[in-house]
Structure 1
Amino acid sequence: MEHLRPVAGAPSPDDGASGPDLADLLRRSGRGDEAAFAALYDASAARVYGLAVRVVRDPAQAEEVTQESFLEIWRTAGRFDPARGSALSWLLTITHRKAVDRVRSAEASSRRETTYEQRNQPVAHDATAEAAEASMEARRVRGALANLTEVQREAVSLAYLGGYTHTEVATMLDLPVGTAKTRIRDGMIRLRDALGVGS
């Protein structure tokens, strides 16, 4: 995908009120309509690439993630359900998952390369306890995220996992900024309650 080098986070030229109906393009792509898929790609590739590059932090890796994401989108377009969220958020959810998988894969590879050195170094008891505690905390956070509504989880994930501002989240989800802020705030309140953290 050598031709695809949009500016990270840059809006697609087709964004805006007169832009294409992504949900309709997804439905048609799900029926094997290649022209609809090409239009979907043109309308959303900049956003997909922008999210990928923010997560993986490497333009070449982000291009590969973008390509993998669109392959997945083509294969699974028939599963898109507009009742569960916007077409753009569905595309970005697939992209985020692919990008995170790429980061985890790179981290696993790096860990394998340093395994020998780590085996030959004593591990302090405190470091082991810290790692165990961090792992348990991560499980608690994942469990708490699962208790959010779909729209809250979507907004919180983009803001805190994707690193987007409230304004960027609002743009990505086609929402007014106030609505995006409310979803993020309500989601964070529910997370705090689920984790037993004080306000």
Structure 2
Amino acid sequence: MPGGTGSAPCGRREGQRVEADELLVLVAGGDQKAFEELYGLVAGPVYGLVKRVVRDPAQSEEVSQEVLLELWRSAARFDPGRGSALSWVLTLAHRRAVDRVRSARAAGEREVREARRSHSPAFDQVSEEVEAGLERESVRRCLGRLTDLQRQSVTLAYYDGLTYREVAEQLSLPLGTVKTRMRDGLTRLRACLGGVA
């Protein structure tokens, strides 16, 4: 990055200020030669400010180049009545540097969140397995309280997926009997699982 203004006496700094203001007005009109001169005046202070905010030299150089490019593109927005060219340029530099730091911080936070999300299960697997085991045990216990015919009917229908007619054929019983046993068995099972019986 080109060097700054050095330690010139105050009168020289004032002259640079006026010179920078005039150069920026010329740059707004598209004068490339004026931009080269302005670049030489402000590149050092821009880099110094950006480096104090961003800290990383490579990123500071990159941000400084972005600022100087923005300076060329937006020189027409400079209003000499609101302050000096150098103040305006340094304000651009500071904003751009702060944006870079915020962007880097946000990216880091997103990476941390994503890493946490990818390492933690979507649900508590242990809790789910324990709960399912307890449910199976409760169903087994409650099935044991049914009569043999009720238990056979419910098991064939719900665990083997048979229809009432298929259950009746399997058990060699009339369909009406199977329906009655199923209804009674399901009522008892529901009561047992609900803690009523």
Question: Match of 2:20?
Answer: 22
Please list the CA deviations of residues 80-104 of structure 1 after superposition, one character each: whole Å capped at 9, or x if unmatched: 1011111111000100011011101
CA distance in 2, matches of 1:5, 1:28: 21
Partner residue of 2:101? 103
Q: Identify the residue that residue 38 of structure 2 maps to in structure 1.
A: 40
| Structure having the higher Rg | 2
Does the Cα contact within 8 Å between 2:2 and 2:40 map onto a contact in 1?
no
Map 1:89-168 onto structure 2 (within 5 A): 89-119=87-117
Deviation per CA, 1:104-136, whole angstroms, max 9, x where unpaired? 110111011101345578xxxxxxxxxxxxxxx
Name the TM-score, length of structure 1 as normaliser.
0.53
Structure 2 residue runs without a partner (length 5+): 121-197
Paired residue for 1:74?
A: 72
Q: How many residues align?
A: 115
CA contact (8 A) 2:5 2:41 kept: no
Distance 2:100 2:69 in 1: 15
Q: Which residue of 1 aligns with 2:123?
A: none
Amino acid at match of 2:63: V
Per the normalisation by structure 2, the TM-score is: 0.53
Going from structure 1 to structure 2, the CA distance change for 1:16 and 1:5 (only over 3 Å counts) comes to: closer
> How far is the alpha carbon of 1:35 from its aligned partner?
0.5
* 1:24-54 CA-partner distances (Å, limit 9, x unpaired): 0000000000000000010111100000000
The residue aligned with 2:85 is: 87
Cα RMSD (Å): 2.1
Cα deviation per residue 1:141-189 (whole Å; 9 max; x = unaligned)? xxxxxxxxxxxxxxxxxxxxxxxxxxxxxxxxxxxxxxxxxxxxxxxxx
The aligned residue for residue 64 of structure 1 is 62
Please, which runs of 5 or more residues in structure 1 have no aligned partner? 122-199
2:66 and 2:53 mapped to 1: Cα distance?
15
Displacement, 1:57?
Answer: 0.6
Any idea what SS the aligned residue of 1:54 has? helix
Query: Counterpart amino acid of 1:115?
Result: R
CA offset digits 1:42-79 (Å, max 9, x no partner): 01111000000000011111100110001111001011
Q: Cα distance 1:69–1:12, how it changes in 2: closer, same or farther (>3 A)?
A: farther
Give the fraction of aligned pairs with identical amino acids, expressed as a percent: 50
Change (3 A) 1:92 1:73: same
Structure with the largest fraction of helix = 2
